[in-house]
Structure 1
């Protein structure tokens, strides 16, 4: 896993809602697993599920399955390691749905700080990355354009989380700089699966990037010593995502280690539709 720039000291005391909502975005985008088309090759020892050895093939295969099933239940677990103090444990349960414009999801997230009580909050994330937090009897949208406000801090933190926590976000965006480093037989809760280790070469990604601002950001990461981003994804014999594991440094907050488990693909789910303002 990559090691990014160390977060600012004292960030461990950032407001609970900021870290919580940031992780909410991660979970949804982590659920938006898009993986590729193409030929598969038979596995060797073990249960012998077909395997994909090209990043583009893996991307298409999982994307096709996800759009066919459309919905799933989601469970989250992990921790945030802050520069000072003990780790903050996180968890959550909810559901996701594939929409024409992307992924929507709703779930309740919990955080347990060292020596403190467990706190929870409900979130809805809509296609395009809109984040809504439940407040009282309604929903309040996170204002990403409010410069210098806690909401702006939340949006910035969320962007850093999403940048490294979705195991296929980098694969989808940088497919020509990504490779399947390993594909091995495994199980998830007793279900036969293939475990994929996906690596993105950020130096190559910067060379291929057409957007000047994005290219500059990638070059800065590489110059800072973060030259690769790795993630792990487990899929079943029908190319359904079962689990993903990621690790990402969040500037100003800490290092997030997150495991996302997906189950009951195709099960009907209910997701709130927040209003235009609150």
Structure 2
């Protein structure tokens, strides 16, 4: 169904959308002291700074709780923007679609593990899906996984205003939590990326005019956590959490070799 599909895309893309209780929430005014002087005072500045901070680090681990969809974890490593890999394990929590999936994503393809004993093989093999194809795996595709480490793709700056900034800690590390309100009509018109525009247009068309976003960054402006509660009309709220940890620490990602690939599939691009 279209609504279920859009809901899953909004959740996994990291768009931390919480329906605003009222569109007239007041904006927290910077006090001018030493602490608030270091805070970002526009959404565009916040997201651009986080994206630059990520570019300086070559790896990260992520814990995912995608609410009604699935739970799992991902690891990311990049040598350059065109040389990267993700490894993820997701377990479905939907009773109608139980199961677990392990997959690897590179610029060349997405690989989904086929456990030994499944299909016609007595050993573990991999299903290879070409770039841009929608695998239907837990309602996600390769581009959504890739965007998990790009702040400017996760959250649209267009129409966004910072309304609250709070210091805090996550697992003992200092963080800053930014709450943003996004005008969905403005974002639907002016967001940089087409996926953002389509998501915001869907919400605007469903009568959701203001969306609230929570985004935690650490002392280096690296993403630390995103929490999501997205109200999808006729479905209900979809909640999720993406937790980032160990930026820059080594991770191991083994890309399947040609002899490990049992099947190659072209599911058709978007």
TM-score (norm 1): 0.63
**Mapped pair 1:110 → 2:91:** yes
C-alpha separation in 2, matches of 1:55 and 1:239 = 13
User: What's the counterpart of residue 128 of structure 2?
Assistant: 141
Does the Cα contact within 8 Å between 2:206 and 2:233 map onto a contact in 1?
no
CA RMSD of aligned residues (A): 4.6
Q: CA deviation at 1:193?
A: 0.8
User: What's the counterpart of residue 124 of structure 1?
Assistant: 104
Does the Cα contact within 8 Å between 2:163 and 2:181 map onto a contact in 1?
yes
Q: CA deviation at 1:51?
A: 1.0
Does the Cα contact within 8 Å between 2:14 and 2:228 map onto a contact in 1?
no
Q: CA deviation at 1:247?
A: 2.9
Q: Are residues 211 and 69 of structure 1, via their aligned partners in 2, closer, same or farther at CA, if it must alter by over 3 Å?
A: closer
User: What's the counterpart of residue 15 of structure 1?
Assistant: none
User: What's the counterpart of residue 244 of structure 1?
Assistant: 226
Write the mapping of 1:83-102 to structure 2, written as runs, cut at 5 A.
90-98=70-78, 99-101=80-82
User: What's the counterpart of residue 159 of structure 2?
Assistant: 177
Q: CA deviation at 1:107?
A: 2.0
Does the Cα contact within 8 Å between 2:48 and 2:152 map onto a contact in 1?
no
Q: CA deviation at 1:139?
A: 2.2
Deviations 1:10-67 (A, max 9, x none): xxxxxxxxx9xx78x965x549xxxxxxxxx78769x768211111211221112111
User: What's the counterpart of residue 74 of structure 1?
Assistant: 62
Q: Are residues 197 and 103 of structure 1, via their aligned partners in 2, closer, same or farther at CA, if it must alter by over 3 Å?
A: farther
Q: CA deviation at 1:100?
A: 0.8
C-alpha separation in 2, matches of 1:209 and 1:244 = 20
Q: Are residues 211 and 171 of structure 1, via their aligned partners in 2, closer, same or farther at CA, if it must alter by over 3 Å?
A: closer
- Relative to its length, the structure with more helix (as a share) is 1
Write the mapping of 1:181-260 to structure 2, written as runs, cut at 5 A.
181-208=163-190, 218-219=200-201, 221-248=203-230, 255-260=237-242
Q: Are residues 209 and 65 of structure 1, via their aligned partners in 2, closer, same or farther at CA, if it must alter by over 3 Å?
A: closer
Aligned residues: 232
User: What's the counterpart of residue 45 of structure 2?
Assistant: 57
Q: CA deviation at 1:127?
A: 4.6
Where does the alignment leave 5 or more consecutive residues of structure 1 unmatched? 9-18, 32-40, 81-87
C-alpha separation in 2, matches of 1:61 and 1:209 = 17
Does the Cα contact within 8 Å between 1:43 and 1:51 map onto a contact in 2?
no
Q: Are residues 246 and 177 of structure 1, via their aligned partners in 2, closer, same or farther at CA, if it must alter by over 3 Å?
A: same
Q: Are residues 42 and 191 of structure 1, via their aligned partners in 2, closer, same or farther at CA, if it must alter by over 3 Å?
A: farther
**Mapped pair 1:270 → 2:258:** no
